[in-house]
Amino acid sequence: MKCVFLFAVLIGSVFCVERDFSVRVKGQFLCHDKPSVSLPLDIYYQSNIMLYPDYMARFTDAEGKFDLAANIKVDEYMIDPYIVFRHDCWERPEMPGRCKRKIMWRIPGMNVTAKKVPEENRIFNIGTVDLRFKHEHEVRTICGIGKLSKKSPE
């Protein structure tokens, strides 16, 4: 009986080994044909944010370009990560700036590397995207409270 229990524990521990997974995503974001500068990006797996070797790479540069690598260690066989970003680019530039549009873009499994460092041939290149139009991966619009004006004392 003890042997059966030990065997079950041994088999269970073999299948619960944590594995490293990594992804690399690159592309360019525009807003009305102009670069979308300093746009923050995050890569998630389930509700966990993945780790970045270079934290500043998670922001778009002066040309709206980004090249973001991330990794995570989990006890899963395969992961299904996605990139998340929020922006305030609308079809009409005069739209209120207090509202943000949220996009969750799934990263295909063929672009996931089962190592801590992503492989060069598995880069997920999303190309150049103009954010003013509704995107197929857009999930919602988030509007905060606008600036409250103080009433002058009467």
Domain boundaries in the chain?
17-143
| Residue 15 buriedness (CB in 10 A; 0-12 / 13-18 / 19+) | exposed
Question: Environment class of residue 84 by beta-carbon count within 10 Å: exposed (0-12), middle (13-18) or buried (19+)?
Answer: middle
| Per-residue pLDDT band at 3 (split at 50, 70, 90) | low
Is the model's pLDDT at 93 over the cut of 80? no
**Separation between Cα atoms, residue 64 and residue 45, nearest integer Å:** 24
8 Å CB contact between 6 and 50: no
What's the pLDDT tens digit per position in 97-123? 677 889 999 999 999 999 999 999 999
Average pLDDT of 9-37?
A: 84
pTM: 0.78
Say yes or no: domain 17-143 is CATH 2.30.110.10: no
Distance in angstroms (rounded) separating the CA atoms of residues 71 and 53: 8
User: For 117-154, what is each residue's pLDDT tens digit?
Assistant: 999 999 999 999 999 988 899 987 777 654 443 443 44
Q: What does the block give as tokens for 93?
A: 């530039």
